[in-house]
Amino acid sequence: MKSITLQSSLFFLSILLIQNSCSHSANQAGESEQPKTLYASEVIPFFHHWNLILGDGSNVGQALQFEHKDYFYTATDAEGDWVVFKTPNAGATHGTSNNTRTELAQLKKWSPMTEAKLSATLKVMQVSTTGDARVAASYSVVVGQIHSADGHENEPLKIFYKKFPGHEKGSVFWHYEINTAGEDNSRRWDYSTAVWGYDFSVVGTAADSYPEEPEEGIALGETFHYEIEVRDGIMYLTFTSEGHETKTFTKSLIKSAYTKPADIPQQTQTLFVPIGQDGVERENAYAEEGLFFKLGAYNQTNGKSPEVNKNWCSGAETYGGDIQKQYETGNYAEVWFKEASIYVSDAAVSNEGYFLKNDHLPHAGK
């Protein structure tokens, strides 16, 4: 009798152990089904150098262990892990800008006389599918900048990607914006230089008429790399992409080439002078100003009427600012970054040092 009781006890004990084991295994399985979030700061560990602005106009501050599925997150493909910057044609904008952005702004400003460097490997996945082809900014996104923190707060560098609807390949080009002489900055203008494909000045002859596709262009989803280096007042640019010619450029940031009306290039006379942007630049350009880098997706396509400004107002679809509708219909910009690095020499830091306040990021309006 005792033997039977002992056997029964052992049997029930074994059942309990099996149940507990199964329950524990189920819990483990359940836990493993919850994927771990891969944050941007784990893909590119340099986010303590930046403040992040989102496509809804909000200032995140330093994007450490942060994501927002509408604007800023990570993605993985056959090439590895990427940081995604996404922003619609219309939404809340930051500062005085007409355009939305999901973009990093460097916390430290530096002098053009000392050494600063930014490099990035990226691919543009989307630009707006609507806009007015006669407007130079339509279908484009800015993926890297140097911005002034002082004076007129102008931009000695903007790196663009632009692709017309129906084309497989787009263009990469860069802009220099003059640091206008005098107090009136409304007469400022950009000068555009082609890297692969066209520059900013190549536009359509009608709202829905496009130029020929650039033979040496870059396709959506095609990886390219830029390197920006500033030292001793000179900006050095290098652009590389597999299967494309490496392109290099230099530009002085401390001595202007545009100090007289006669210096205004033909491209500017065609694009900007007719709308009253016919200024000249101060002789020392950006020499006396603090500069900082920007990186991300600064959408250059917006819904404003081209009658306001034929270079910058695209008349694109915005669906009244409905972000999800814009995403569903291709009216947004999306840029993926795989690698990036930043360096600023200690001697380059201005007396004011860092922009520390997350609730007020200076000079992000343009």
Q: Is residue 64 part of a domain?
A: yes
pLDDT at position 11 is 47
Q: Is residue 284 part of a domain?
A: yes
112 CB contacts (<8 Å, ≥6 apart)? 230, 233, 235, 253, 254, 286, 287, 289, 291
> Do residue 133 and residue 69 come from a single domain?
yes
Q: Is residue 184 part of a domain?
A: yes
Q: What is the DSSP letter of 193?
A: E
> Do residue 147 and residue 16 come from a single domain?
no
Q: Are 76 and 338 in contact (CB under 8 A)?
A: no
Range of the domain at 28: 1-34
What is the Cα–Cα distance from 151 to 289, expressed in whole angstroms?
Answer: 7
The total number of structural domains in the chain stands at 2
Count of residues making up the chain: 366
Q: What is the DSSP letter of 156?
A: S
CA separation, residue 186 to residues 174, 189, 283 (Å): 21, 9, 18
> Do residue 29 and residue 42 come from a single domain?
no
> Do residue 253 and residue 298 come from a single domain?
yes
Task: Give the 3-state secondary structure of residue 249.
Answer: strand
> Do residue 10 and residue 77 come from a single domain?
no
What is the Cα–Cα distance from 357 to 318, expressed in whole angstroms?
Answer: 32
Amino acid sitting at position 123 = K
> Do residue 126 and residue 159 come from a single domain?
yes
What are the strands, taking DSSP E only, across 55-165?
A: 59-61, 72-77, 80-88, 101-106, 108-110, 116-126, 140-148, 157-162
pLDDT at position 97 is 74
User: By 3-state DSSP, what share of the chain in percent is helix, strand and coil, each rounded to 5?
Assistant: 20, 35, 45
pLDDT at position 366 is 58
Q: Is residue 133 part of a domain?
A: yes
> Do residue 12 and residue 112 come from a single domain?
no
Q: Look at residues 109, 181, 193 and name the one whose alpha carbon lies nearest to residue 148.
A: 109
Q: Tokens standing for 170?
A: 């787009």
Q: Is residue 19 part of a domain?
A: yes
> Do residue 79 and residue 205 come from a single domain?
yes
> Do residue 14 and residue 62 come from a single domain?
no
Q: Is residue 76 part of a domain?
A: yes
What is the Cα–Cα distance from 273 to 188, expressed in whole angstroms?
Answer: 10
> Do residue 20 and residue 79 come from a single domain?
no
> Do residue 240 and residue 216 come from a single domain?
yes
pLDDT at position 92 is 74
> Do residue 119 and residue 23 come from a single domain?
no
Angle subtended at Cα 103 by Cα 163 and Cα 238, rounded to the nearest 5 degrees: 60
Q: Is residue 296 part of a domain?
A: yes
Mean pLDDT by 10 residues, the chain (366 residues): 46 47 48 79 96 95 96 97 97 75 96 96 98 98 97 97 98 98 96 98 96 96 98 98 98 98 97 96 97 98 95 95 96 98 74 37 44
What is the Cα–Cα distance from 199 to 187, expressed in whole angstroms?
Answer: 21
pLDDT at position 12 is 47
Q: Is residue 360 part of a domain?
A: no
Question: What is the CATH classification number for the domain harbouring 321?
Answer: 2.60.120.200
